[in-house]
Chain A
């Protein structure tokens, strides 16, 4: 893992003191809310329905046990004993008092964490594949590049006041587990040229009320020139992006209005100047950052484990968890374990302080002191010996964290919705909970297999409903909560936006409607087809028919 150097530490420490002064001036009345709002947003502080909300950055989703324990401490001391992981691998606290925020930031700084650039019109926390450095389909570990981008983008003077927020995701191979084409910029490592890494670059992805899938702008940007190329993109956006209309200010709108060819030409024009300037990354610096992400000291194992095999045979519950939540690892004898934060009827992404402590203990003991936050609002222990998986599972089971549903129908991505969010039109969590309870039968879920279901409480789409295989969007109809369903979205390397299948439904109709769509899939799928494969083959119409079967849709 990366460790702060003296520059990082000083920057974060100074920011804490700066914000402490700003909070004191706000509390004393010396600053008005209008004056304070941009300052708090620069430190990840929102004012939501019931309280302030603090969004803490987990850089590229990677944490150690010390950091996880500190997050638990903050939940216990300053909040209501829990935190909420988001699709951008941040953690949010829903109840901190304004006057406690400096102390919370100081606590975070003590473990090399902060909330800088988790909101505001700047470059946000860079995200990546939750299995980075562990997956066997990776060309190169993307995390060193995420760290390089973190350092480059943190308090970047030119890019601290962009037209709108700017999100970047990086993956290390062709299989996209970080939804890069829904980001303002998506980077995919495609190969090497000598010592240099080559990146395919997508631009102009985004969700919200005008969703776009990112378009390819370059096929082989060299790692040593990556910062120059990204600067060219951001400079073009900063100069040409709209600032007169918040709904048309994201780079996706600029790319769409200019066309990708014209936007590429503008970026290339900027790049020609920038590539020869001091933004060229020295190879030695790349290697220095890479060294922080060197593989841990794996044991040399033969890839089999008697303890693991015996546990699979002896305990069907462990076998089920292994089938659904354990992923192949590049190192023989190891695996990655998904910790589902989607327990039966629970809140997607929520984790209590006690559970965080358990995860920290497991990471320290069994996963080289590393735990990851996932796009899907789950956690991952990236490097667990097969021998240790039964012990890890038993500890997770005791903590209520062993729900064997990773990537299945109840592994729902959902935003906080109207229960917390001041922007929302409708609640998301109760609808996700109703679905979780309705589809609780794990045999049924396994029969259905992998399916991504996403829920958002408003068109801002924090629950990524546009790219859910099944998406649910909460809408307001004359003061009542209704839900629009989409089918066929996908966040992966075949990224696509879902199609609206019909009129919106009342909340109690959503879970049964989704189950009918899944049942229809079971009826019509061909051998080996996942839900999304069947949708791609037959279109969304059969699923729309199932969703509205026997139902009078709302007007």
Chain B
């Protein structure tokens, strides 16, 4: 199973391909794609450069990043694990 992810053009935030070609910033809402669906979604994301910057596919098991890049993809999904970017009352655009 694969997930499709990218950064969103206007603010650079992490996004995922969701059902129906929608985008979501929430990992658990990402569409779980078989090999054929994944390639189709990737082609469609590439055709929407006004939203998807550098789209690519991520290995996942039960919707959770797996494989060699699992730590990186988990951090992309959940945000920095430490420091001043953790939820902050003054945060602008945080999700």
Chain A residues packing against B (C-beta within 8 Å): 26-29, 32-33, 47-52, 76-82, 94-95, 97-99, 346-347, 350, 352-353, 418-420, 424, 426-427, 429-430, 433, 476, 478-481
* CB of B49 closer than 8 Å to a CB of A: yes
A433 proximity list for chain B (CB < 8 A): 82
Contacts A49-B76, A478-B68; is A26 near B9 (CB within 8 Å)? yes
Q: Is the CB of B71 within 8 A of A479?
A: yes
Q: Beyond the given A33-B49, A478-B68, could you list 5 further A-B residue pairs with CB under 8 A, ordered by the A residue number? A: A27-B10, A81-B91, A97-B93, A419-B81, A479-B68
Among B10, B76, B82, B85, point to the contact of A97 (Cβ < 8 A).
Answer: B10
Provide the B1-35 mask, 1 if CB < 8 A to any CB of A, else 0. 00000010111111000000000000000000000
Docked Cα-Cα span, A307 to B78, in Å, equals 50
Most buried by A among B14, B70, B75, B94: B75
The 8 closest A-B pairs by CB, nearest first: A97-B11, A419-B80, A51-B12, A52-B12, A347-B83, A82-B84, A29-B50, A81-B90
Name the distance in Å between B83's Cβ and chain A's nearest Cβ: 4
* Contact across chains for B71 and A418 when beta carbons are under 8 A apart: yes
The answer to the question of B53 belonging to the interface, with a C-beta cut-off of 8 Å to chain A, is: yes
Q: Which residue of B lies closest to A345 (CB)?
A: B82
Chain B residue numbers with a CB within 8 Å of A28 are 50
What are the residues of chain A within 8 A of B91 when measuring CB–CB?
Answer: 80-81, 95
Q: Is the CB of A78 within 8 A of B92?
A: yes
B contact residues around A77 at 8 Å (CB): 92
Give bound CA distance, A4 to B10, whole Å.
32
Q: Which residue of chain B has the shortest Cβ distance to A33 in the bound complex?
A: B53
The answer to whether B53 and A47 touch across the interface, beta carbons within 8 angstroms, is yes
Residue of B nearest to A98 (CB): B10
Shortest B87–chain A CB gap in Å is 9
Q: Are B75 and A49 in contact (CB under 8 A)?
A: yes
CB-CB under 8 A from A98, the residues of chain B are: 9-12
Given contacts A95-B93, A478-B68, contact A47 B88 (CB under 8 A): no
- B92's partner among A79, A419, A429 (CB-CB below 8 A) is A79
The distance from the CB of B54 to the nearest CB of chain A, in whole angstroms, is 7
CA distance A452 to B72 in the complex (A): 28
Within 8 A of A (CB), among B24-77: 49-50, 53-54, 67-72, 75-76
Contact A476 B68 (CB under 8 A): yes
The answer to whether A419 and B12 touch across the interface, beta carbons within 8 angstroms, is: no
Q: Are B67 and A50 in contact (CB under 8 A)?
A: no
Least Cβ distance of A99 to chain B in Å?
5
Residues of B within 8 A of A51 (CB): 7, 11-13
Query: Can you offer 22 A-B residue contacts whose CB atoms are under 8 A?
Result: A32-B49, A48-B12, A49-B76, A50-B13, A51-B7, A51-B11, A52-B11, A80-B84, A80-B88, A81-B88, A81-B91, A94-B85, A95-B94, A347-B82, A347-B83, A352-B84, A418-B75, A419-B75, A419-B83, A420-B85, A429-B82, A433-B82
Chain B, residue nearest A347 (CB): B83
Q: How far is the CA of A52 from the CA of B69 in the complex (A)?
A: 21
Measured CA separation A51–B93 after assembly (Å) = 10
Give the CA-CA distance A235 to B80 in the complex, in Å.
42
Residues of A within 8 A of B7 (CB): 47, 51
Residues of B within 8 A of A476 (CB): 68
Measured in the bound complex, the distance between the Cα atoms of B51 and A28 in whole Å is: 10
Q: Which of A29, A50, A430 has the most CB of B within 10 A?
A: A50
